Structure 1
Amino acid sequence: MFIPLTVAVTVTALALAAWCGHAAYRDQPTKDWHFIGMAVVTVLALLQLVVGVVWLARGQEPSDSSVIFVSYLLGAAAAVPAVGFLSLAERTRWGSATVAAGAVVLAVLEVRLYDIWGGGGG
């Protein structure tokens, strides 16, 4: 798997989590700038999905099941858009907190993707 892309998705997801967590701390809902940040993270996750599927199509295999790998890729690509839509419905600080939590979930999914591909040494 393309490790620099995985690191980029993880770092941007954690930055989004910190940003939206700070907004929740300040009792602010998600704003337009937050949605731009969510779009950046989502584009990176979608790019990772495409790269992962292309690598599988080229014959490279993860150390675990390919089905599990693709499932995690799909979950990673859907995590931030899902919480983005939820934050639109909840226009309070809890919308920002939801996005922060979803971004942390994405970072954890990225670590798991790295493990599934075989980067965890096992």
Structure 2
Amino acid sequence: MNVSQSADTVWNNPVGRLLTLLVGGGLVAGVLTIYPQLLPVVRWVVPVSLVFWGASRLYRYGVADSLSLAAGCLLMLGGFTYASYLLISMGELAGTVAQLVPVVGIFVEMFAAHYRNQG
């Protein structure tokens, strides 16, 4: 059994997936404890990855599928709004909307992935 088959076996098992995520989270927490200057890098990973995720949806599925188009645009908009939330001091309503847009984008992407897998 090679490494990729072993990784697939562990990842396909729910307990193995949970343990993998816990070990990964523990490693990130340990690194941040040892090197606290990396915290801003970790803080900016979320908005940057949302923008890249949205751009990849647009690149991969194009504009023909309207649900994938909406998901990609909302993910990119969510990345920009969350980045602006991190940069600018906002009121309660603006901060809530800035954090809610990425959540809506993720849910739309989940629906789009569901409908892509259906047919």
Q: With structure 2 as the length reference, what TM-score do the two structures score?
A: 0.43
Query: Over alpha carbons, which structure has the higher Rg?
Result: 2
TM-score (norm 1): 0.42
Kindly indicate which of the two structures has a greater share of residues assigned to helix. 2
Higher relative contact order (CA 8 A, sep 6+): 1
